[in-house]
Structure 1
Amino acid sequence: MSHAFQWLRSLIFMIVIYLWMAVLGLLFAPYALFSKRGALQACKLYARTTIWMARWMVGIRGEVRGTVPTGEVMVAAKHQSFFDIMLIFDAVPHGKFIMKRELLWTPIIGIYAKRLGCIPVNRGKKGAAIAKMVKDVAKEFSEPGQLVIYPQGTRVAPGAAKPYKVGTAVLYEGLQNPCVPVATNAGVFWPRTGILRKPGHAIVEFLDPIEPGVERNTFMTRLEDMVETRSNALMREVGFDPDAVH
């Protein structure tokens, strides 16, 4: 398959999924505005249809491995692309994301994020942002769900290095819930920038939970080692060498 043809398929796919987001958002709006259940159903439908369309439109086959958590846990996930968000959200019963505050003002996404109980964070104010995040999460956890946080704070390209942020450990200590690390190789096929989507086997894998009570530095070291080691293995499984990027 030629590069140009795959790029064209990718462009059409991206147009379709964003148009589909707008259509679903408007169709479910009357229900979602007054019901968190309505917002959840709309977002679940969007995630599932996006995963389905990715397979037949651009050749990306999504897979979820490991034991998917169903109780109140913190999910600390490697974040490489929009596609790993879709795979995680589709897998867990009620995902709530730590998200950058700017997304609240995004049409459709912002409204549904609020209804789902996602927690906005001002990334420009370090200490104050962490304190407010802990307070907001404690309030939001009055209802059950799986809190998804990206320890590196943003999407990271396959093979690139970016430090893990202490906010994840602060939440882990405050919530006193298990932390479920998640690895992925999704960015190999669905990159963080550009149009081209490459055919292949995109995986997210839920790893063994880290139980509450682990000391902060030990927790951070263990989390990073688990997520990075397994993500690198998943990338090598599909023929991408993360070490070659450095």
Structure 2
Amino acid sequence: MKSEKVSPLDVVRSLLFYLVFYPGTVVMVIACFVASMFGDEAMRRTVRGWALFHRWCARWLLGIRLVIEGELPDEGVLVAIKHESFYEAIDLPAQMRRPAPFPKAELAEIPGWGWAARRYGTVVVERGEGAKALRAMVSSARGFAAQGRPLAIFPEGTRVPTGERPPLQSGFAGLYKLLALPVVPVAVNSGRLYHRRWKKPGTITLRVGERIAPGLPRDEVEARVHAAINALNV
């Protein structure tokens, strides 16, 4: 799908967004260091504050609204989300109560931000590390699920341009089987607005799909999740 032409106003809005959001993020990382001294709840509130700050910047500087269709879980289930832009990744702590995301290892190594992400509680994905890494991920994910934290994963493995429907990464089926948790699929259409460079105003929709029970055969769960997360991909 081709993106729409970028207007001069889109460029101005995007530059203003970058000038506000990224320095604000540095401040929020510092706030996380302070909050960590006061326990997990203070840390959770600070991270959620960062996500809400991003949502505010997107709404009032970029003109991007968010609509959530359906109810996102606040319990220890596997939440499989379409990934078209950084918007849905940054917004996660504002959508659910202390979700545990699965960031790539290189993101967890970003100075300051990586420390805050690990302290908040994430399941770091070590790609190419084989069975040992998978066991570590499953152990970490089980611990977070036992605390009642939703496990937020992007089953396609990376950001996908709007209109594309790649197959799910093989690791998703492995996690689904080993964790034995229900899956809540979520469709997103952020890629048409929240581009890497110049962003455009409009409405981003998150559509929560029907919950999928644990224990299904691999082909069936992959087909159902793939269809549900691409429900807005028309």
Normalised to the residue count of structure 1, the TM-score between the two structures is 0.86
Give the aligned partner of residue 232 of structure 1: 233
What RMSD in Å do the two structures reach over aligned CA positions?
A: 1.9
Give the aligned partner of residue 82 of structure 1: 86
SS in 1 for 2:232: helix
Does 1:138 find its partner at 2:142?
yes
Give the aligned partner of residue 167 of structure 1: 171
Gaps of at least 5 residues in structure 2 are 1-5
In 2, Cα distance between the equivalents of 1:12 and 1:126?
Answer: 42
Does 1:202 find its partner at 2:204?
yes
Write out per-residue CA displacement over residues 84-106 of structure 1, whole angstroms, 9 at most, x where no aligned residue: 12343311112110110111211
In 1, Cα distance between the equivalents of 2:101 and 2:193?
Answer: 23
Within the candidate set 44, 50, 55, 1:40 is matched to: 44
Write out per-residue CA displacement over residues 190-227 of structure 1, whole angstroms, 9 at most, x where no aligned residue: 02x3x201010011111111011211221111111121
Moved more, 11-20 or 86-95: 86-95
Write out per-residue CA displacement over residues 49-91 of structure 1, whole angstroms, 9 at most, x where no aligned residue: 2111211111111111111112211100001111112343311
In 2, Cα distance between the equivalents of 1:199 and 1:83?
Answer: 13
Within the candidate set 85, 99, 103, 2:107 is matched to: 103
In 2, Cα distance between the equivalents of 1:66 and 1:156?
Answer: 23
Gaps of at least 5 residues in structure 1 are 234-246
Normalised to the residue count of structure 2, the TM-score between the two structures is 0.91
Runs of 4+ in 1 over 6 A off after TM superposition: none
Opposite residue 201 of structure 2, the aligned amino acid is P
Opposite residue 48 of structure 1, the aligned amino acid is L
The alpha carbon displacement at 1:33 in A equals: 4.9
Give the aligned partner of residue 3 of structure 2: none
Give the aligned partner of residue 222 of structure 1: 224
In 2, Cα distance between the equivalents of 1:121 and 1:85?
Answer: 15
In 1, Cα distance between the equivalents of 2:153 and 2:70?
Answer: 18
Contact 2:100 2:144 in 1 (8 A): no
SS in 1 for 2:71: coil
Within the candidate set 111, 114, 122, 1:118 is matched to: 122
Within the candidate set 160, 163, 166, 1:156 is matched to: 160
**How many residue pairs are counted as aligned between the two chains?**
230
Give the aligned partner of residue 61 of structure 2: 57
Moved more, 126-135 or 88-97: 126-135
Give the aligned partner of residue 20 of structure 2: 16
Opposite residue 231 of structure 1, the aligned amino acid is L
